[in-house]
Amino acid sequence: MASVQGPDAKQAFQDVSREHKEITRNLEQLNATSREIDEALQHVQTRLASATEEVSKLKLNASIKLISNQEAFEASVEQQTELLSYSEASDMIATAFKSACTSKFADPAFLEKLGDQNLGDRPEYCTVIWGIESAEWRVHDPRDNTEVTFAMLLEDVCRYWALDIESVAITDKSGALWPLDGFVWDETSTTDDATVWVTRLPKPKVRL
């Protein structure tokens, strides 16, 4: 079989190396874009939750005010035996609620406050290195109480790189194995950077 030697072999190696760097760069850009989209979606969800909570409070206050006014009215006309129908009361509540919402959302200060809601802590990511490849996993997010163990991370890593989970392990930079039941962020956040390595386990010797 013919083989590539000399300058051609060197050029081929450089081409492959250049392509690999370009692919790695593209993967990093995709990971960064994915994180930005995730944070943007979380921001929208937080703002929506805040608006929903505020609207619920407005509705409750409108209902309480309506009931209070109704009780005062009934006390002043105690001799009147005719009661409001459900339809009439429902229309009154809906009108009061609509009026309160219109007034609140027309207030620039309220809208500014709603837009400035604090998103809380940002999610934390762990860099996983496998050979010359690397990827990032979200391992801790206080916004939704996400906590990822090394066992969960190992399963994701094996699916991502199509590895046999029985033949690999997650280690630190010195090669020490991380405990599978430990939480990734709790263990790695105290190091210089949250980076772990995927390492093949040594094959057991077969005794004849």
Angle at 50 between CA 48 and CA 56, to 5 degrees: 100
User: What are the extents of the domains in the chain?
Assistant: 1-119, 122-208
pLDDT in tens, 178-200: 999 999 988 887 776 789 999 99
Average pLDDT over residues 57-62: 77
Highest-pLDDT range among 25-29, 68-72, 204-208: 25-29
pLDDT in tens, 67-124: 777 777 666 655 554 555 656 666 677 677 767 777 766 777 666 655 554 444 678 8
pLDDT in tens, 3-25: 555 667 777 777 777 787 788 87
Which residues is 129 bridged to in the sheet? 134, 197
Q: Is the pTM of this model over 0.85?
A: no
In this prediction, residue 119 carries a pLDDT of 46
**Main-chain phi, psi angles of 176, to 5 degrees:** -75, 140
**Main-chain phi, psi angles of 53, to 5 degrees:** -65, -40
Query: Which of 134, 161, 156, 140 shows the shortest CA–CA distance to 28?
Result: 134
CATH code matching the domain that covers 122-208, chosen among 3.20.20.140, 3.10.20.90, 3.40.50.2300, 3.60.9.10: 3.10.20.90
Residue 208 has pLDDT above 80, yes or no: no
Residue 32: pLDDT band with limits 50, 70, 90: confident
Q: How far apart are CA 112 and CA 114, in angstroms?
A: 5
- Longest CA pairwise span in the chain (Å): 110
